[in-house]
Copies of this chain bind each other. A is one copy, B any other.
């Protein structure tokens, strides 16, 4: 689809086609999915892609990273904050909305290069009056507190009076469409007119009293920049505030409307200063104008893309889907604030309550470690800042060390609901977050991967070590001694495969627990030798002595793997005794079709799985298993994996690729890449599948380009490009340098820039320059289990 605007300025702004995602026409039943896909986010604030004028089945969502709260006994959630988007025109009381008018033409275009959402709407009211609305909106990444909407409005066949209402809407709730869970997380404490057409709404979250202040100025001007408002009014309607304006328009004459918005919270400034911060910034913003801010914003994205863009030659569809995944990853990441992490639905929806899962370490971290180390460091630093919560969580569950929670918000304590709603039956089933204990190893794995890739010795010594030791200590206390067999086991857990909710000695959990302890032991030894003062400090802080290390050594050696660690490995104790059903059919997207003979209510009694735990271990720790074992396990579990998680497609693809299953990998890659764009799981409306986005990048770079760090810490490429791809071009930040990589079927070109783009290195430790040589084991890939 060609994007062509009447307003020349808009055509000048728009990037080339490879940067654009289009919505052509208007079908209200598609609103929710486009709201997710057209969400704009700048790491600080995410705003779903609603129409400014409102639509009947919209789901308003404005999420500020780190603003969590809880009420009504529901578990803690990212707060759905007041919706600042509202902007609606009326021709003398006839609202110009798709619900009330005829949509003559509608296009929306997401410009990923600039992170700007463009639109063009020709709308006809009952009396045949046609109005063209063109414009854009953006959430600035130059000043994350700022956002703006710009509209160019042209009456096509009439003269008359237009009315404009600009709304700040505090009536939003969380989980609106699920009355069982619906919750309002804030009260409106101020709803005022500050003069000079400044509307201000301040919300206070119910439990923590976090303040969210949002201010807006709405202006209407003619082509010459003159204010044309002839009547205006500001008013409050309960939790809403409206700025209303009237102005005359003439056929063919374009008027410009802009809404400037500023948001601050009491996480940014002291509580009493929130309003002041909003007003001062808004004044300044109004003085500078929208164009100046847009320019700065676009420049930030230009630098981000210089580091992270991936181009696929020969496959436009894959090229765009991959870019869309990267765009979402950049948008949910916060480069400035280590106290926030990434929620399972990004800043794009309130499903999963904005909480952080193992997705961060397993699916997101590699992308950031290789392209935007500042963000990667924040993501692992977040876990360090949550250590006390994790320690408390361990103590509450009767363990030692740090038991990272399955659902993490702003304290490191477990935020998971104790029950889950089964959508099929509507029944509440108890949920046991403490059984998904493999998250603890995932945090350790994340620290290890981050340090291995970035060589950030500063982080490892000052923060990472403490995490590794405390997680190892947790495992030592969690492992249960089986005296009869002189072995350690872990009973009653849920592995990544959530089809089986109560299993003993899950291979994934047990293996990663051992791995976690081995890495901690290695690190302790290394630090004692190479960085004794750092070691002394952390050991003293957490009271870690030699006898405890010795006990870890013994315990990890005696961990039981019921099905062994080579050949066909059993997912958990007794798995092979379950009814065996094999996937025989796949749909047109190569998605498994549920075997007919298995009743939906009985799948937990079969070997069918949601995700392949054994394959996952081998994917995360490829050097710990031989090729033959990996092939056997992949072949076995792939035929039993229902791929019902957005996480499984990319893992499956990556594992397959490494074993040479190219064509299956491409389909799985595309499925992951398009999970939201094509809504191929049917739930894109709930928010972006951000882990799938990270997985998509991994399949492309770690799979098709075959990039990896070898045993001596060098980058290696083993290209396995899909047959129809001509080349794959991308960038990697590596050891303080930016590498431009171009991979073709049988050639890899790497060009080295002396330093990465300025914005990314500013104030951020990249590489090992500050401290020196990285400790052994963090330089190369993993060593084999003992």
Which A residues have a C-beta under 8 Å from some C-beta of B?
Answer: 56-57, 72, 88, 90-93, 95, 99, 160-161, 163, 165, 170-171, 173, 177-180, 182-184, 187-188, 231, 233, 235-239, 242, 244, 246, 423-428
A160 in contact with B426 given A93-B177, A244-B180 (CB within 8 Å): yes
Contacts of A236 in B (CB 8 A): 184
- The reply to whether B180 and A238 contact each other, CB–CB distance below 8 Å, is no
- The reply to whether A238 and B173 contact each other, CB–CB distance below 8 Å, is yes
- The reply to whether A93 and B235 contact each other, CB–CB distance below 8 Å, is no
Nearest residue, chain B, Cβ from A234: B72
A180 in contact with B233 given A173-B238, A188-B238 (CB within 8 Å): yes
A92 in contact with B426 given A72-B235, A182-B237, A237-B184 (CB within 8 Å): yes
Q: How far is the CA of A184 from the CA of B242 in the complex (A)?
A: 11
- The reply to whether A182 and B242 contact each other, CB–CB distance below 8 Å, is yes
Q: How many copies does the complex hold?
A: 2
Contacts of A428 in B (CB 8 A): 231
Q: How far is the CA of A428 from the CA of B248 in the complex (A)?
A: 13
A-B residue pairs, 4 tightest by C-beta:
A92-B426, A161-B426, A184-B237, A165-B179
A238 in contact with B235 given A177-B93, A179-B90, A426-B163 (CB within 8 Å): no
- The reply to whether A182 and B423 contact each other, CB–CB distance below 8 Å, is no
Q: How far is the CA of A91 from the CA of B426 in the complex (A)?
A: 8
- The reply to whether A180 and B161 contact each other, CB–CB distance below 8 Å, is no
Nearest residue, chain B, Cβ from A423: B92
- The reply to whether A170 and B238 contact each other, CB–CB distance below 8 Å, is yes
A56 in contact with B99 given A180-B244, A180-B246 (CB within 8 Å): yes
Contacts of A56 in B (CB 8 A): 56, 99
- The reply to whether A171 and B93 contact each other, CB–CB distance below 8 Å, is no
A622 nearest CB across to chain B (Å)? 41
A161 in contact with B425 given A184-B238, A238-B170 (CB within 8 Å): yes
Contacts of A239 in B (CB 8 A): 171, 238-239
- The reply to whether A182 and B93 contact each other, CB–CB distance below 8 Å, is no
10 contacts between A and B (CB under 8 A): A92-B424, A93-B423, A160-B425, A163-B179, A165-B179, A180-B231, A183-B235, A184-B237, A188-B238, A239-B239
A703 nearest CB across to chain B (Å)? 37
Nearest residue, chain B, Cβ from A187: B238
Contacts of A182 in B (CB 8 A): 235, 237, 242
Contacts of A235 in B (CB 8 A): 72, 182-184
Q: How far is the CA of A99 from the CA of B31 in the complex (A)?
A: 14
Contacts of A426 in B (CB 8 A): 91-93, 160-161, 163, 246
Nearest residue, chain B, Cβ from A236: B184
A171 in contact with B242 given A92-B425, A423-B93, A425-B161 (CB within 8 Å): no
A244 nearest CB across to chain B (Å)? 5
Nearest residue, chain B, Cβ from A93: B178
Q: How far is the CA of A99 from the CA of B28 in the complex (A)?
A: 12
Known contacts A93-B180, A187-B238; 5 additional CB pairs below 8 A are A173-B238, A182-B242, A183-B235, A184-B235, A246-B426
Contacts of A72 in B (CB 8 A): 233, 235
- The reply to whether A179 and B242 contact each other, CB–CB distance below 8 Å, is yes
Contacts of A93 in B (CB 8 A): 177-180, 423, 426
A101 nearest CB across to chain B (Å)? 13
Contacts of A160 in B (CB 8 A): 425-426
Contacts of A246 in B (CB 8 A): 180, 426
A302 nearest CB across to chain B (Å)? 39
A183 nearest CB across to chain B (Å)? 7
Nearest residue, chain B, Cβ from A243: B179
Contacts of A163 in B (CB 8 A): 179-180, 426
Contacts of A187 in B (CB 8 A): 238
A161 in contact with B427 given A177-B93, A233-B180 (CB within 8 Å): yes
A6 nearest CB across to chain B (Å)? 25
Contacts of A99 in B (CB 8 A): 56-57
